[in-house]
Structure 1
Amino acid sequence: MWILLTFIALLIIVYWYTYPRLGEIMLNAYQQRAIQQANLVRRRYSINGISLSVLETEGARNKSKPLLMMIHGFTGDNSVWLSLATLYKDDYHIVIPDLPGHGHTGFSPQWQYDIEAQSTLLNALIWRLGYQKATLIGNSMGGYISAWMSRYKASAVQAQILLCPAGLPARRKSRLDALLDKGQNPFFITRRRAYYRLLSMTMSSSPYIPRMVKDVLADEHIRRVSEYQQVFGDFASTGYMNTQELAKTRVPTLIIWGARDAMLDVSALDNWLDCLSCDYEVFHDVGHMPMLEAPGRTYQRTQHFLHQPRADYAA
């Protein structure tokens, strides 16, 4: 009996010291495989004093392929685009930055994280890559950055695709709005369980994520909460986009929104459509992250938009 108890105790000890390390190994293996499938490599570019980490199409740059830049949202990183990037790899030179304060780019209290500063940084990255223009795909905060670039740095934008973009208010309150009204910011968490709730808010139909991988993601998020607070403060200080200025946008635009978005309610789409003459689509079974929840459908819809005659979308 004591042998069995000793064996069980050893198993518990091994589990304790390897968990969630095993989850970290699983996560890294998955991401590395997805990066390879998308024909991407990780590179760094020094842009405006920031060492920006990006995933970029492997090999020598082929300027015959147009540049496609994917821009993640608040507390995300460039890994959220890997499923979609795989579908685009044959047609575009892809670049997916980790925005300042996120992912491998890291954080500095001296950096600026407002929308204008991030737009300026990504505009400089386009030039650094040797391109004049890029097609932008932005989600949430990344959608706001894309919309800002398309209005104020339009010479560098070929077209833009906004997935549940921040930047304009919604006509109905989301779950996130309700929490913020109570003084509760679900991004600023101290426990894994709170991270699980946050994850359920970001996606309505999340791909399967093993529990130990979720715990790795939760621990990393919790470790960076104080950094995210500064990023959020700068981001929020930008306020909503000026609708009169937004209406001057002439970049061809597609907006995709998930009807089950708990972060930014789909009713915000009406305010975007009041300002922009653009194409749009609502995915009725999707939440805040269409590129993760429905990558195939997102790809098909964006491809249809990108192959339309440009005159169809001119304002």
Structure 2
Amino acid sequence: MWILLAFLALLGFLYWYTYPRLGEILLAAYVKRAMQQARLVRRRYSINGISLSVLETEGSRNRHKPLMMMVHGFAGDNNIWLSLANLFKDEYHIVIPDLPGHGQTGFSTEWHYKVSDHGKLLTALIWRLGYQKATLVGNSMGGYITAWMAKHQSSAVSSSVLLCPAGMPANKKSRLDAMLDKGQNPFFITRRRGYYRLLSMAMASGPYIPRIVKDVLADQHIARVNEYQQVFDDFVASGYINEKELATTSTPVLIIWGGKDGLLDVSALDNWLACLHCDWEIFHDVGHMPMAEAPARTYQRIQNFVHSNKIRQAA
């Protein structure tokens, strides 16, 4: 009997030891392949004392192309943009930073994480890359940062695309709002099942993520919860965007929202449109991350927007 118990214990240990590591291998293999397809490499740039980890189009020959910068949301990282970046790779020099407090850029208690802090940092990155202007595409918190830059750093922004942006209240409560009203923040989790719930709130459709990879992503998120709390506090301290200032924005803006967004309800779009003259569209079958859930549709909509602006500017 003891031999059987020992054998079962060994099997249990092997499962425990190999399961998360196999997920890590699968995730790393996916990221590596997706980066190769999009012709991206990982680089670091020292900006205002912060060593930013950045995914960037490989090769100096792309420097003659216009710059497109993609900005992720709270508790995300630059890998979320890989599918969309692959579609834009022939038209833009693409730069995708890990914001401070996120991804491989890392975290420091000495850094500041307000929307204005991120916006100034990304403006400095644009100039550090040798560009005067960039097309910005931001999601969620990244959308708020992008909107802030369109107004306050307009000299560095040629156009802005906001995907389900934070920064404005919604007229209807989302699942996130309902949880926050109960004193529960779904970002501050201690178990994998909490991450699964967060993921279901963020994405209403694809892409398919194997359970073993979800567990790796959950473990990575849980390990950073204490850091995310400071980032979240600074972000919340930024408050809502100033509507009067937003109304005077001259930078061309496109807003895309997922009709099934469980984090920031689509009804917030009405408040954006009430004070901002811009192009917009709702993807009714999509959640909070159009760039990951519907990359081809998001790419086409952005292309139409950019092309229309070029025609208007040339007229």
Q: TM-score range by the shorter chain?
A: over 0.9
* 1:139/1:289 contact within 8 Å kept: yes
Q: Distance in 2 between matches of 1:5 and 1:180?
A: 46
Partner in structure 1 of residue 262 of structure 2: 262
Partner in structure 2 of residue 15 of structure 1: 15
Partner in structure 2 of residue 309 of structure 1: 309
- Give the partner amino acid of 2:204: S
- Number of paired residues? 313
The change in CA–CA distance for 1:71 and 1:61 in structure 2 (over 3 A counts) is: farther
- Structure 1 residue runs of 5 or longer lacking an equivalent are none
Partner in structure 1 of residue 68 of structure 2: 68
Partner in structure 2 of residue 124 of structure 1: 124
- Give the partner amino acid of 2:120: T
State the Cα distance separating 1:76 from its structure 2 match: 0.2
Relative to the length of structure 1, the TM-score reads 0.96
Give the alignment of 1:166-315 within 5 angstroms: 166-310=166-310
Partner in structure 1 of residue 112 of structure 2: 112
Q: Alpha-carbon deviations, 1:95-151, whole Å to 9, x = none?
A: 000000000000000000000000000000000000000000000000000000000
Partner in structure 2 of residue 38 of structure 1: 38
Q: Distance in 2 between matches of 1:110 and 1:7?
A: 50
State the Cα distance separating 1:9 from its structure 2 match: 5.4
State the Cα distance separating 1:307 from its structure 2 match: 0.5
- Structure 2 residue runs of 5 or longer lacking an equivalent are none
The change in CA–CA distance for 1:61 and 1:45 in structure 2 (over 3 A counts) is: farther
* 1:252/1:310 contact within 8 Å kept: no
Q: Alpha-carbon deviations, 1:153-204, whole Å to 9, x = none?
A: 0000000110000011111111101111111100001011111101100101
State the Cα distance separating 1:309 from its structure 2 match: 3.5
State the Cα distance separating 1:16 from its structure 2 match: 1.7
Q: Distance in 2 between matches of 1:78 and 1:104?
A: 9
Q: Distance in 1 between matches of 2:311 and 2:109?
A: 44
Q: Distance in 2 between matches of 1:154 and 1:17?
A: 51
Task: Tell me which moved more, 8-17 or 56-65.
Answer: 8-17
Q: Distance in 2 between matches of 1:310 and 1:303?
A: 11
Q: Distance in 1 between matches of 2:242 and 2:13?
A: 57
Q: Alpha-carbon deviations, 1:236-286, whole Å to 9, x = none?
A: 000000100000101111100000001000000011111111110000000
Q: Alpha-carbon deviations, 1:14-44, whole Å to 9, x = none?
A: 2221111100000000001001100000000
Q: Distance in 1 between matches of 2:62 and 2:311?
A: 27
State the Cα distance separating 1:289 from its structure 2 match: 0.3
The change in CA–CA distance for 1:173 and 1:311 in structure 2 (over 3 A counts) is: farther
Q: Distance in 2 between matches of 1:311 and 1:151?
A: 22
Partner in structure 2 of residue 138 of structure 1: 138
**SS state at 1:94 partner:** strand
**SS state at 1:46 partner:** strand
State the Cα distance separating 1:2 from its structure 2 match: 9.8
* 1:61/1:93 contact within 8 Å kept: no
State the Cα distance separating 1:64 from its structure 2 match: 2.1
Relative to the length of structure 2, the TM-score reads 0.96
State the Cα distance separating 1:212 from its structure 2 match: 1.1
* 2:252/2:309 contact within 8 Å kept: no
- Give the partner amino acid of 1:207: P
Q: Distance in 1 between matches of 2:297 and 2:179?
A: 31
Alpha-carbon RMSD across the aligned residues, in angstroms, is 1.6
Q: Distance in 2 between matches of 1:138 and 1:159?
A: 11
State the Cα distance separating 1:60 from its structure 2 match: 1.1
State the Cα distance separating 1:207 from its structure 2 match: 1.2
- Give the partner amino acid of 1:17: Y
Partner in structure 2 of residue 59 of structure 1: 59
* 1:186/1:194 contact within 8 Å kept: yes
**SS state at 2:62 partner:** coil
